[in-house]
Amino acid sequence: MRREMRVWAAVLLLWAVQSMLAQWLDGAGLLARMLSPWGADVYAGLLAAVAMFTLRLGLLFLAPGWLLARAIRRLR
């Protein structure tokens, strides 16, 4: 039971960090800066954008499998 709670806590933490990064990137206007002709200052937020998309991919593809594997192990 404890391991399942750790898995759920890890997934919830990934979701929270990804949501906070998405809000921060939206507030920073990263997309508008990338599309502007003078987008030289875009590199500051580029690392945060890569981190956010990596977390989002983890949430979409890794977390469901992780939770499903834990559920199957529990049923055994």
pLDDT in tens, the chain (76 residues): 677 788 788 888 888 888 888 888 788 777 677 677 766 666 767 777 788 888 888 888 888 888 888 888 888 7
Structure confidence at residue 30 (pLDDT): 73
DSSP 4-71: HHHHHHHHHHHHHHHHHHHHHHHHHTHHHHHHSTTGGGGHHHHHHHHHHHHHHHIIIIIHHHHHHHHH
Structure confidence at residue 70 (pLDDT): 82
Structure confidence at residue 58 (pLDDT): 85
Q: Please check whether residue 22 is in contact with residue 52, taking contact to mean a CB–CB distance below 8 angstroms.
A: yes
Structure confidence at residue 41 (pLDDT): 63
Structure confidence at residue 39 (pLDDT): 62
